[in-house]
Amino acid sequence: MAGPEGPDDLKDPERLEGLSLEGLEGLEGLAGLGAPEGLSGLDEPGDESGPGGLGDLGGIPVIGDLMRMLQGAAPGAGHAREVGRAIASGGVSEPNIDPAARMAVEQLVRVAELRVADATGLQPSPGTALRVEVVNRVGWSDRTVGDYDELFSALNQSMAASMTPDPDDGPGDPMAAMMAGLTKMIGPTMLALTTGAMVGRMAQYALGGYVLPVPRPAGKPMLITLPNVDEFGRQWSLDPDDLRLWVCLHEAVYCAVFGVHHVRGAVSDLLLRHASGFETNPRRLEELLGDFDPIAGGPEAFAALQSELGSPEALLGAVRSPAQEALLPQLTALMAVITGYVDHTMDRIGADLIGSYSRLSEALRRHRVEASESDRFVERLLGLELDQTQYERGAAFASGVVERAGAEGLQRLFSHPDNLPTPAEVDAAGLWLARIDLPH
């Protein structure tokens, strides 16, 4: 079977219908890219000739098409953005946000800003009024790809460095040369596609900018994904105004926490160090394809290969390094404390401000822990452990501090860099209070 002859081939609906992405966990949203416009920006294959090129895969259905799509552009934020947009929108054109709805949300943000500042002593937007960007799903995806670019770049560089061929290996046979080229190319490009797909997937259910507790660039407006907020309210039969105010409060609390310079710095530093620390197996792709025999194996061989390539973690060959494992207790503990603080603050403010607060909180906290395994992929890449156990750990710390020292004790949490708790102190609030009360 001859392979595609050029970029126009990917615009042929018949060819796209044959591109099965079933089983590509973490990229299942790409199955919606069958429409030509869904692949805009991804359909300009590079040179497929010469050692390490992809021409030899032209006769392999599914994998050959996937490889050409992966080769279509240099990996980076632009590549991830195109994938994110296509998945976030579900392949359909989204309407713009109604101006009246936008103004209503802006008024709720003013209320949230004042209440959060009064309850926490922190400023959601230090030095200026808190701004809000009310967006649709594509708008959320675009902003998030850009806001997370530093983290994604660190991941890309970490994996690309580990995949650089060893010059001492010397020249090999043509197949080895092709596999070396694929190995060098596939990791960063697959990562760009995968992170784009994950951001697009999160855009389908994110209510605000902090679906993950990851600092966004300072000075940017907070995000509210209004179509998701309103859709969630309809699904759970929630009061729409109460729900909008809840989301605005939640986002404002996160803005206040990450508006503290040393808190933002500590979290950002840990996330970047984790993203930069992956170790990869540069021969992983060769191992996956080593036993592939399309002649003897027939259709079952293709099914088995696609299953192997279906996991981004398996394809990237990414494993946590000892340096990352050493970071995880500190990163996990800090995330637990931040989410526990946010939840406690929400309970303090919301119970008095929102009539249906208890019902809203039950629905929304269930919403955040019901993500699928594919949704967890970006969390794992970033070193985040956001399961129910960690949320309960943070809640226990916050309640333990308040029981011993009142709300004023919890407000000391972010007042000084030395007050950030150690992993052991997160599980023993009394130890934390005793330490910060010691004379400096």
pLDDT tens-digit profile of 23-81? 333 333 333 333 333 333 333 333 333 332 222 323 333 333 344 444 444 445 577 88
Q: pLDDT digits over 267-300, tens only?
A: 999 999 999 987 766 555 556 556 656 566 666 6
- 431/32: higher pLDDT: 431
Amino acid identity at 205 = Y
What residue spans of 216-321 are helical by DSSP H?
Answer: 226-236, 240-258, 261-275, 284-290, 294-309, 312-316
The predicted pLDDT at position 91 comes to 81
- Looking at the chain, the whole-number percentage of residues with pLDDT higher than 90 is 49
- 227/167: higher pLDDT: 227
Binned at pLDDT 50, 70 and 90, residue 177 comes out as: low
Q: pLDDT digits over 356-373, tens only?
A: 999 999 999 888 877 666
Which tokens sit at 59? 């006769």
The predicted pLDDT at position 34 comes to 32
pLDDT of 117 higher than 90: yes
Please list the residues that pair with 135 across neighbouring strands.
Answer: 225
Q: What value does the mean pLDDT take over residues 3-23?
A: 36
Print burial letters for 402-412: b (CB count within 10 Å at least 16), e (below 16).
beebeeebbbb
Domain ranges of the chain: 7-436
The predicted pLDDT at position 72 comes to 46
pLDDT of 7 higher than 50: no
Task: State the Cα–Cα distance between residues 191 and 311, nearest whole angstrom.
Answer: 12
Q: pLDDT digits over 239-269, tens only?
A: 999 999 999 999 999 999 999 999 999 999 9
Confirm if 194 and 205 have CB atoms less than 8 A apart. no
Please list the residues that pair with 319 across neighbouring strands.
Answer: 279
The predicted pLDDT at position 69 comes to 44
Task: State the Cα–Cα distance between residues 286 and 288, nearest whole angstrom.
Answer: 5
Please provide the distance, in angstroms rounded to a whole number, between the alpha carbons at the two ends of the chain: 74
pLDDT of 86 higher than 50: yes
Main-chain dihedrals φ then ψ at residue 293, nearest 5 degrees: -130, 90
Q: pLDDT digits over 178-209, tens only?
A: 555 655 556 566 667 777 888 898 999 999 99
Amino acid identity at 278 = F
Q: pLDDT digits over 227-240, tens only?
A: 999 999 999 999 99
Q: What value does the mean pLDDT take over residues 2-25?
A: 36
Which tokens sit at 290? 């080593």
Cβ neighbours for 404, distance < 8 A, ≥ 6 positions apart: 429, 430, 433
3 state DSSP class of 319: strand
Beta strand ranges found along 200-272 (DSSP E) = 222-225
pLDDT of 309 higher than 80: no
Q: Are β-strands 279-280 and 222-225 bridged in parallel, bridged antiparallel, or unpaired?
A: unpaired
